[in-house]
A and B are shown apart, each in its own frame.
Chain A
């Protein structure tokens, strides 16, 4: 029973992070038809900026903390989210837009290149060690014979709030409606007076912000963030976004929960002697499933089926 509860809590906590990162994929996909394959690195950089501002950072690429004035947690978080939004806008303008013609795969290669670039920049200028970040909510709750960090519950609540806010934004605000219009038909939206490029930039800004929020929420739960850490979360979120349907926020949320539950149950109940086995098996299954979804229902399990007129 204790293990079951542990699985459920871990799964929901992970799902909330995967969903946040996957929403970022969704936002750029529906507006521009492109995906930022550096999303995992955006998560990492967002977290690193937060760590850099609010924690005792370390000198000379690694090792010991140098005492210096620190920013309050909330301010560091806000700055990180703003910087990553800005980076999202720059990415759209200078990396995506020049390459995003219908026949080009340049944007894929450029975002993969940006991913490598970001990892190396962080490694070379900030360091490669894993760095911890203070949680927003400290302490833990005693539940079913274990201590569950309050931060995990905070993350779940945060994701739920963001889902609600995004739904309100898309359905109730003029700006949100213009995003949907651009997603539906950019040419018609442009003719109706919507500034399509602005909407695209906005989508990338939101995507960058979500990556930063994901990274900041994630880091206290997983122990720390290093230059390599974001990549695996980016890949997991990518799988979630594909399985859930790139144009369906609720589908992504459901897929994130299913993905994380499967991950936790396989890890904990198919544990055959070495802890690696469950994780490796899960990854094999997930990416096998991903290929099946892309082949059979490329709009995702919860995505709407697209009828194309010919």
Chain B
């Protein structure tokens, strides 16, 4: 068998492009920008499903809640924090009598941190599975693509992790989107206040995912309000970058010699930045978004992550009974001695418990509109993160503000509370 080189050349190009194409269709490590066409077509489809809304209400049997998130892919640790926190809460509700005798069933869909998969997943959950409400999504890029469908479909959506500010700003009257997470608007204010109180020369870097760029924009807007001038324009880096890929940026940082580097991004790439800094003998304090509390920041960093400061809402070091119970139940259920992405777990747990309270209101377990109204009317709940009073009262139905956050620092693979002194 002999090939002509010209034929081989064309075959190889064909294969290369096929593999690139298929690779591009596969799950990606980070958020994906929102494809406008996908969103628009999704909205059209969902408009026809609104009439099916009440069909979700059977009045009998289990209450189906759609659980979506990146359970595989580069953001899996975020998605799994949702799954685990929500499952622990749902089990607790079910084991203590359920919702007026009915059980909560979680119907899972993996969005693989991509907008397309996310849109397909929630359409499937709304149209085919006819779930009563949606719970989840870890990635901002995915959530931004899903938000219009949710508002059009009039299905309550509870977000425990994705932080992009604009997700809950999606037009809808009334809004069906509820969030209990470290919304970027407040997280950037919190981080911005901390760095400006402690440091003078500030540099900002971010990863090139939807999460990184939207968070950076919020941060820049806030720093501008505070009349802070950065040492240079923000630099974005590839979320899949290796330590060597990060070195040009680090050299730039070294020249500018800021007092602190604020990094808005996800754990694995941020770990490679810290490794590259170590290799280049560049020692600069780093303050990150909570994306840097992903467990990969430590597993990949292998010590380089030490000293990095990140905001959190929950600490495994909490001594309260309720908090310790959750930590112990997590460790027993998942046969582990460490709680990964603890704030995501606790937020998912508290949000599912809040959903449980709302579901017990008359008619809320059978009707999406009644459930929405019940969520807005929750009076109070004593959760593992804090005591919530009328939690969804803000115009965007975001539970947390910057007052709910605290700082932690990475130390030997663990996040420990940070004290400013």
- The answer on a CB contact under 8 Å between A222 and B80 is no
- The answer on a CB contact under 8 Å between A223 and B300 is yes
Contact A59/B18 with A147-B278, A268-B251 known, Cβ cut-off 8 Å:
no
Residues of A123-150 at the interface with B, using a CB-CB cut-off of 8 Å, are 123-124, 127-132, 140, 145-149
Interface bits A159-200 vs B (CB < 8 Å: 1, else 0): 000000000000000000000000000100000000000000
- The answer on a CB contact under 8 Å between B340 and A223 is no
Which one, B128-136, B257-265, B330-338, B351-359, is touching chain A? B330-338
- The answer on a CB contact under 8 Å between A129 and B76 is yes
CA distance A276 to B271 in the complex (A): 17
In whole Å, how far is A124's beta carbon from the nearest beta carbon of chain B?
A: 7
Residues of B260-300 at the interface with A, using a CB-CB cut-off of 8 Å, are 268, 271-272, 275, 278-281, 295-296, 299-300
Interface bits B221-253 vs A (CB < 8 Å: 1, else 0): 000000000000101111011111111110110
Which bucket holds chain B's interface residue count? 35 or more
CA distance A268 to B276 in the complex (A): 14
A294 interface contact, C-beta 8 A = yes
- The answer on a CB contact under 8 Å between A228 and B27 is yes
A10 interface contact, C-beta 8 A = yes
A208 interface contact, C-beta 8 A = no
How many chain A residues touch B (CB < 8 A): the figure is: 72
CA distance A77 to B237 in the complex (A): 32
| Residues of chain B contacted by A278 (CB below 8 angstroms) | 248
In whole Å, how far is A302's beta carbon from the nearest beta carbon of chain B?
A: 15
| Residues of chain A contacted by B300 (CB below 8 angstroms) | 130, 132, 223-224
A105 nearest in chain B by CB position: B11
- The answer on a CB contact under 8 Å between A226 and B1 is no
A259 interface contact, C-beta 8 A = no
- The answer on a CB contact under 8 Å between B18 and A224 is no
- The answer on a CB contact under 8 Å between B248 and A123 is no
A262 interface contact, C-beta 8 A = no
CA distance A85 to B388 in the complex (A): 58
- The answer on a CB contact under 8 Å between A10 and B2 is no
B15 interface contact, C-beta 8 A = yes
- The answer on a CB contact under 8 Å between B26 and A129 is no
CA distance A102 to B233 in the complex (A): 55
For the residues of B in contact with A, the DSSP-based class is helix
B47 interface contact, C-beta 8 A = no
Interface bits A1-39 vs B (CB < 8 Å: 1, else 0): 001001000100110000000000000000001010100
| Residues of chain A contacted by B340 (CB below 8 angstroms) | 63-64
- The answer on a CB contact under 8 Å between B281 and A119 is no
- The answer on a CB contact under 8 Å between A66 and B336 is yes
CA distance A278 to B27 in the complex (A): 24
A298 interface contact, C-beta 8 A = yes
| Residues of chain B contacted by A128 (CB below 8 angstroms) | 27, 72-74, 76
- The answer on a CB contact under 8 Å between B295 and A275 is no
Known: A294-B12, A306-B5. 11 other contacts (CB 8 A): A62-B80, A124-B72, A128-B27, A129-B74, A132-B299, A147-B278, A238-B16, A242-B12, A275-B246, A278-B248, A295-B9
B: residues with CB less than 8 A from A are 1-6, 8-9, 11-16, 18-20, 22-23, 26-29, 71-74, 76-77, 80, 208, 233, 235-238, 240-249, 251-252, 268, 271-272, 275, 278-281, 295-296, 299-300, 302, 334-338, 340
27 A–B contacts, CB within 8 A, in A order: A33-B3, A33-B8, A62-B77, A64-B338, A102-B2, A102-B3, A108-B15, A116-B22, A116-B26, A128-B27, A129-B76, A130-B296, A130-B299, A131-B299, A146-B279, A147-B278, A147-B279, A221-B243, A224-B268, A226-B268, A267-B247, A275-B235, A275-B237, A275-B248, A276-B208, A295-B9, A306-B5
